[in-house]
Amino acid sequence: MRRVGIWMSVCSFRDSLLRVLDVIFSAFAIVAFLPLLIPTTIVLRLTGENEVFFQQLRVGRDQTPFQLVKFATMLKDSPNLGTGTVTVENDPRVLRVGKFLRKTKINELPQLYNVLIGHMSIIGPRPQTPRCFNAFPERLRRAIISVRPGLSGLGSIFFREEEKMLCESRDPETFYDDVLMPYKGLLEQWYVSNRSLSLYLKCILMTVYVVLKPNTALHWRVFPKVPCPPGELKNFLRYPDV
């Protein structure tokens, strides 16, 4: 019992420390990115459908729903068009400015607000819509929702060409449900099981690196113990044995 108590105290301290870092990093990033956020807001207000922000219900910690905020990159009614909440490469629902914002990940920056107020963490499993969350194998869901979802995480680092994968598959939704999400769920579960300050910081650094060098395979060396991907994903994920 004493060991259990010590372990719970360590976990509680770790969670508190990571939350403090989340607040510090998100507040600093919001200020640092203001020269980018303001022009993006103006451009979106003057183009497309004159919408600046897109809010969508996502599954949070303990399966508590919250409104995730992004810059608007798609048609207003896009969840009810085409492939719904699954986006493929060259998706016709993506606006012209939205293509650039999505490629550079600038569209994700408003989620710093979600981090600041406690809906999300800087690093964690990516928050999913209810439909996409249900695509995770049931055995993985409990682990994934045991922590705050992340602005970035292993799922984001490894799956940088998700839209391309879906576009090249014959049946995007089946491929998403049966191949992509089960492996992504394993990555997210692995992060939760091994969560630590060092892993948190590694993920932040790798997120920056893969945005700058999207064709890298360095993540396989940085995270050598993550689960091996299924054969259908190895080429897309630049697995070193391929």
Q: Which residues contact 174 (CB under 8 A, 6 or more apart)?
A: none
- In the chain, the N- to C-terminal Cα span, in Å, equals 47
What is the tally of structural domains in the chain? 1
- Domain-embedded: residue 241: no
Q: Which residues contact 36 (CB under 8 A, 6 or more apart)?
A: 106, 109
- Domain-embedded: residue 18: yes
Domain extent for 13:
2-234
- Domain-embedded: residue 242: no
- Domain-embedded: residue 240: no
Residue 10: predicted pLDDT: 65
Structure tokens at 232: 């259908």
* Cα dihedral sign, 123-124-130-132: positive
Residue 50: predicted pLDDT: 78
pLDDT tens digits, 123-178: 999 999 999 999 999 999 999 999 999 999 999 999 987 877 887 778 888 889 99
pLDDT tens digits, 95-124: 888 888 888 889 999 999 999 999 999 999
3-state secondary structure (DSSP) of residue 54: strand
Residue 86: predicted pLDDT: 59
pLDDT at 85 over 60: no
pLDDT tens digits, 27-47: 999 999 999 999 999 988 888
pLDDT at 59 over 90: yes
- Domain-embedded: residue 239: no
pLDDT tens digits, 46-56: 886 778 998 99
- Domain-embedded: residue 156: yes
Residue 221 to residue 62: CA distance in whole angstroms:
32
Residue identified by tokens 């396989």 is 220
Residue 95 to residue 139: CA distance in whole angstroms:
37
Q: What is the mean pLDDT of residues 3-27?
A: 83
